Amino acid sequence: MRPETDSYPKQATMADILEYTSANDTFSDFCLWEYTPTAPFEGKLRSATLLFHSLAFTGANQSTRDLIAAIRGGFGVSNTVWGVKKLGNRINWEFYFYDYRRRQRERSITKFVQTVRPFTDCKVPVNENLPYFMFSIDIDDQITSGTRDVDEIHMYIGNTGSTVSSGISYSLTRDASRLENFYYFFDARSQWEQIVSKARCSACFDDTQASIEQILWPELRDCAVIVVANKQYNDSVYFSRINVDQLLFFLRRMDYPDAIWRFVERHKRELNHLLFDVGIDYRMEGDRLVILKSGYYGIF
Domain assignment present for residue 56? The answer is yes
Per residue in 85-110, pLDDT tens? 999 999 999 999 999 999 999 999 99
pLDDT band at 4 (very low <50, low <70, confident <90, very high): very low
Look at residue 2 and tell me if it is in a domain: no
Query: Is the residue at 37 inside a domain?
Result: yes
Distance CA 133, CA 166 (A): 12
| Number of domain units in the chain | 1
In a domain, 52, yes or no: yes
Confidence of residue 8 (pLDDT cuts 50, 70, 90): very low
Q: Is residue 9 part of a domain?
A: no
pLDDT in tens, 26-58: 999 999 999 999 999 999 999 999 999 999 999
The reported pLDDT for the residue numbered 5 is: 43
SS3 per residue for 16-78: HHCCECCCCCCCECCCCCECCCCCCCCCCECCHHHHHHHHHHHCCCHHHHHHHHHHHHHHCCC
Task: For residue range 116-147, list pLDDT tens digits in order.
Answer: 999 888 989 999 999 999 999 999 878 877 78
Please check whether residue 41 lies inside any domain of the structure: yes
User: Does 287 fall in a domain?
Assistant: yes
DSSP-assigned beta bridge partners for residue 290: 283
Q: How many whole angstroms separate alpha carbon 69 and alpha carbon 80?
A: 11
Q: What is the pTM of this model?
A: 0.93
Domain that holds residue 153: 14-299
Tell me, yes or no, whether 124 lies in a domain. Answer: yes
Predicted confidence (pLDDT) per residue in 180-220, tens digit: 999 999 999 999 999 999 999 999 999 999 999 999 999 99
